[in-house]
Amino acid sequence: MPELNILTLMRVSTQQRSRIEAVDASVRLTDAGGWFDGEYRATWPDFTAQRYLAPDATGKGSREDRDRLLAEADIILGGWPFPLDLRARAPRLKWFHQRPAGASNLLRGDLWGSDVIVTTSRGSASSLAIAQYALAATLHLANGLNRAAVDREAGRFDSRSYRPILLDGKTVCVVGAGGIGQQVGRLCAALGMRVVGTRRHAAPEQAAPPGFSEIAAAGELDRLLPESDVVAICCQWTPETDRLFDQDRFAVMKPGAILVNVARGEIIDEAALADALGCNHLRGAALDVYVGEFERPPMARLWADPRVLITPHVSGASDQDRHGGIELFCDNLQAWLSGRPMRNVIDWSRGY
């Protein structure tokens, strides 16, 4: 079999490299992790470069060297950021796998809508760590711990303002009960919460995932929200979910509910969220993502609200690397070589 040139734009460990090369004798893996950092700094917003690149990262090789690497690649394994003109510079490219789970990460570049097979790590991207973040954020707001920073700034305690609530027996609605959402539901169920969720297409004949009492179709979300004390957004950002939580949807939510978003900021109409908080309809919100997070700081009105916890997309981080993106890539590589269906192929019309 002819050589299969795989180019990785993200750094891989020796163990990961060996795992990829062991899939088939035809594999020729080239590690170009860090080579394109200078290009990212020049073509992505400054905010993105400051967030995701080391301060002294300038890349490696010449433009001609990098063009040659792309031109010779049959398969590319990428992370974040990535070359925005990747498709134009990689004429032999047949398949691109991105380590992140969100398909919307690729909207900015020329791969979106192209003839290249593109897969993501959906369902394998540090799901447990993200679920732990969602649970921690819920407990933070449920116990009123956000008030501690307010009291410290004021130099005095206002104990009545904490108003803790007991989560045992409360209902959590997981919007997008996929890999991450199912882990969120499992952890919440361990606290004694009733767990319901939605999926784009729910099959009534299928058993609900562990910990869930119900999985409903996406169109039934408004039926679940009035009874939900916590709402955890875990779905993909697509045309169908863009500003899914708008003024009308916040009005449907249960008064005093907690909102947690570990998906993408654009799923929330942030002005509507600020209004819902402004009229005290919601208890608080925890946002690991926000609109324009790769380009600018959060909306000032939300960031200044002590009831809003905003973090810089760190929910997937932990002291253990349990990201399954490489394993998923290797499984898909075996499927691709044998002509079998691959997992997590992006449907451009669907958006993930």
CA angle centred on 179, ends 252 and 329, rounded to 5°: 140
Reply yes or no on whether 313 is catalytic: yes
| Pairwise CA distance, residues 5 & 259, whole Å | 45
Q: Is 20 exposed, middle or buried (0-12, 13-18, 19+ CB in 10 A)?
A: buried
Q: What are phi and psi of 308, to 5 degrees?
A: -115, 120
Reply yes or no on whether 264 is catalytic: yes
27 DSSP β-pair partners: 4
| Pairwise CA distance, residues 142 & 134, whole Å | 12
Give me the catalytic one of 87, 249, 307, 313.
313
**Which contiguous run of DSSP H or E holds residue 247?**
helix 247-252
| Pairwise CA distance, residues 292 & 301, whole Å | 15
Structural contact between residues 299 and 270, judged by C-beta atoms closer than 8 angstroms: yes
Tokens of 247: 């003024």
Give me the catalytic one of 266, 293, 307, 323.
293
User: Of 52, 91, 57, 86, which is closest to residue 72 (Cα–Cα)?
Assistant: 91
Give me the catalytic one of 199, 249, 264, 283.
264
Q: How many residues does the chain have?
A: 352
Reply yes or no on whether 87 is catalytic: no
User: Around Cβ 347, how many Cβ atoms within 10 Å?
Assistant: 9
The set of catalytic residues is 264, 293, 313
